[in-house]
Amino acid sequence: MPAPQEKSQENSQESQGPRRIGQWLYLREECIDEYKRCHAKVWPEVLEQIKDSNIRDYSIFLALTPRPTLFASFKYIGQAFDADMARMAANAKVQEWWEMTDGMQASPVEGAEGSARGPGWWGQSEEVFYVE
């Protein structure tokens, strides 16, 4: 699930409005089946918070080679990204979900400690092409 991001040029006041976001991280090979099982039954409270945080069209993809890697893509439709992500991070069920799933993942972000701690858990991607 989306987590608070490190402050950057991309995450500045000018870019608080609607946009598409791509993120990635590694999945521990021994956790692939468990990760798929829990995402087949995402907790209703987590799904509700995603929607309440103005996230739509959210997908997570898994590439198995050369190293199990997750790629997440979603549309943010709100006007206050940081506030919406802070509200998500404050949700106790989301925190519990992150605690469960973080153990299955390995962050590519130097200094990352988890979805709710550190400089950001998911690596950020730049959109270089889009057509609707």
Residue 24: other Cβ atoms inside 10 A: 18
**Rounded to an integer, what distance in angstroms lies between the CA atom of residue 40 and that of residue 45?**
15
Q: Catalytic residue at 38?
A: no
What letters, b where the CB count within 10 A reaches 16 and e where it falls short, cover 37-70? eeeeeeeeebeebbeebbbeebeeeeeeeeebbb
Domains present along the chain, CATH in parentheses? 15-108 (3.30.70.100)
- From 39, 51, 56, 75, active-site residue: 39
Beta strand spans in the chain (E): 19-27, 55-63, 69-76, 105-106, 123-125
Q: Is the dihedral of CA 38, 39, 45, 49 positive or negative?
A: positive
Query: Stretch 45-54: mean pLDDT, rounded?
Result: 98
* pLDDT average, residue stretch 74-88: 96
Q: What does DSSP assign to residue 31?
A: G
pLDDT tens digit string along 89-104?
999 999 999 999 999 9
Q: How confident is the model at residue 9 (pLDDT cuts 50, 70, 90)?
A: very low
Using alpha carbons, select from 86, 75, 76 the residue that is nearest to residue 116: 86
Q: For 108-122, write each residue's pLDDT tens digit.
A: 999 999 998 878 899
Asked if pLDDT for residue 39 goes beyond 50, the answer is yes
| Cα 71 from Cα 66, distance rounded (Å) | 14
**pTM of the predicted protein model:** 0.85
Q: What is the CA radius of gyration of the chain?
A: 14
